[in-house]
Structure 1
């Protein structure tokens, strides 16, 4: 009995030492998470997203970004690095291009070039004849580690998010793993960049964002809407800002939505002036409780991944106007379609974006 007790004590000491001292890649920063609002008011629970129809994608998965282009074709970025092209009904699927990385967002410029934010490669341009060119993989000599979302302005300038200056997906097991590390750390190194094709120069518009994610332009193209995933909010940022630290407070940046019920992901321009926002995950009480407890967040990363404070899946998207009025809210509490990261709206369909879905979900367009 004494020997067994000694062995058990040694095992407990070894476990305690591992949980306390084993190295982890994050240096957590204490912050104060606002009390989660839950699903109330305009976000009251509903099942409007639960009747998705599916377009099979074969061996592909993760249609994270979807665009209906001027050629009438639907383009979708997949986890494999493929950008698929198909008819709006999902027929005639083909590989348009493969970047060798992971495209998380793209847009088309006036000449029909596909401008892609590739989390591995940086900012890319893909010509109509499928030639791939790297436009930017550094800013001021610093690597662009996590290109995420992109939008092209009418004047040709390209605005895109570098979600994390700390955790590159190429080094930390992929886009999802790197995002978890960045959000757990909360060092707020995300930034918004501008690439000017005329000068081929890249500059920092704004910084200090906890996982800078979705980006959309206002109709007059003077303001950027930006999702700050790690702090559950949406910013409005002046496109003319330069190296603006949003944590310091400035008239060129303001919070449009604060304390959202989930982790906001992509932003997509819809019809009639609305902007669609997708939530990758709902909030979790454990993550909010540990916000001001950096040591516990370090400890959590030493546990098996199944015990990390990663929320369950919960389908949720919303649409809002530029002045911050929520005009649509669609949910699926069952979370059957994983990570509803955004919506692509066409005249007759809503296509649902996702990091890991094995098909492309869609709904018939809602009646006005």
Structure 2
């Protein structure tokens, strides 16, 4: 970020140097006038709110819409993006773009599924909604909108279904996912036990409260329900010390803290009541959290990234619309100085620096 703040000064010095080398400066005997004009021009270009330097926005185009979530592996490769047609693609840089890494089910009919953007056939093609690597093994865990909890082995390929229900209740709409790197335990959400992804409008309009926060232990292969009665359970993130989880509920605009350790273990409390619909939540390297929030009013929709700390204090709010041209934002993930923006309804990975 500091580099981008230095760009105006670098541009100024380069132009002054170029003019002097070309002897053009003799036309303007007062060098201070030239510098003043240049600095004013750079100000207009770099510091007005709508200008380029207020936040560099880049689009990494995908062959299929719907990147709802991203992941980066232990070597820093990525982003890995979940797509509407059931695949996970990996970005290999601007010269190559995205290539297929894996898919959610082995019997997925490729000719029928590749390129589709239909949520009503996710039971055939799969639809990954939440991604998370376990760095120790290289496995990529997926929350899939129809299949439930899935894992793609290290190196990629077809996914293996790990669980499709908990306590005898089938998952309706698995959404967010987080892997505890210390234990390998996978935490994930089920947005609704009643409705699926294609019925997301029903979840909101009926204020459905059948969502759950779940835990998968790879050693026992058991799924445990940690919280139930959630209204659109969407994102989940674990704290840096592994003592608690933060979980979002998009129907009621709420972030809750669920304690994993300490005197409050196995209890939950409301951390933040938000304006808008919070979706995925991701921790950054500083131990803070980015929440993707869609704020709608009668006349407009704002797509935001809101950064909070573990106590629920608001640290920063960024608005990405209209540059990020969607009606919904599902994830804001910070990685190496950039924010990666996700949505069900765009055909690219949004990058904000």
TM-score in same-fold range (> 0.5) = yes
In structure 1, the gaps of 5 or more residues are 1-45, 242-249, 286-310
Instruction: Give 1:181 shift.
Output: 0.5
Does the 8 A contact of 2:251 with 2:277 survive in 1? yes
| In structure 2, C-alpha distance between the alignment counterparts of 1:89 and 1:351, rounded to whole Å | 16
Residues 47-82 of structure 1, C-alpha deviation per residue, up to 9 Å, x if partnerless? 79875221121x311211111211332101111211
Runs of 4+ aligned residues of structure 1 deviating over 4 Å after TM superposition are 46-51
Does the 8 A contact of 2:226 with 2:266 survive in 1? no
| In structure 2, C-alpha distance between the alignment counterparts of 1:196 and 1:98, rounded to whole Å | 22
- Which one of 316, 320, 326 corresponds to residue 304 of structure 2? 316
The answer for the alignment partner of 2:250 in structure 1 is 229
Instruction: Report the CA distance shift for 1:49/1:112 in structure 2 as closer, same or farther (over 3 A).
Output: farther
Residues 270-316 of structure 1, C-alpha deviation per residue, up to 9 Å, x if partnerless? 1211111001x31446xxxxxxxxxxxxxxxxxxxxxxxxx854221
* Relative contact order, higher structure (CA 8 A, sep 6+): 1
TM-score normalized by structure 2? 0.73
- Which one of 62, 69, 73 corresponds to residue 65 of structure 1? 69
Aligned residues: 276
Instruction: Give 1:348 shift.
Output: 3.2
- Which one of 205, 209, 216 corresponds to residue 184 of structure 1? 205
Question: RMSD of aligned C-alpha atoms?
Answer: 2.4
Larger-gyration structure (1/2):
2
Q: Secondary structure at the match of 1:134?
A: strand
The answer for the alignment partner of 1:269 in structure 2 is 283
Does the 8 A contact of 2:296 with 2:302 survive in 1? no
| In structure 2, C-alpha distance between the alignment counterparts of 1:345 and 1:50, rounded to whole Å | 14
TM-score normalized by structure 1? 0.70
Instruction: Report the CA distance shift for 1:363/1:111 in structure 2 as closer, same or farther (over 3 A).
Output: same
The answer for the alignment partner of 2:173 in structure 1 is 146
Instruction: Report the CA distance shift for 1:196/1:320 in structure 2 as closer, same or farther (over 3 A).
Output: same
Instruction: Give 1:353 shift.
Output: 1.3
Q: Secondary structure at the match of 1:351?
A: strand
The answer for the alignment partner of 2:260 in structure 1 is 239
Does the 8 A contact of 1:64 with 1:341 survive in 2? yes
Instruction: Report the CA distance shift for 1:353/1:127 in structure 2 as closer, same or farther (over 3 A).
Output: same
Does the 8 A contact of 2:239 with 2:287 survive in 1? no
- Which one of 267, 289, 292 corresponds to residue 252 of structure 1? 267
| In structure 1, C-alpha distance between the alignment counterparts of 2:323 and 2:275, rounded to whole Å | 15
Is 2:86 the counterpart of 1:81? yes
The answer for the alignment partner of 2:313 in structure 1 is 325
The answer for the alignment partner of 1:124 in structure 2 is 150
The answer for the alignment partner of 2:295 in structure 1 is 282
| In structure 1, C-alpha distance between the alignment counterparts of 2:254 and 2:95, rounded to whole Å | 33
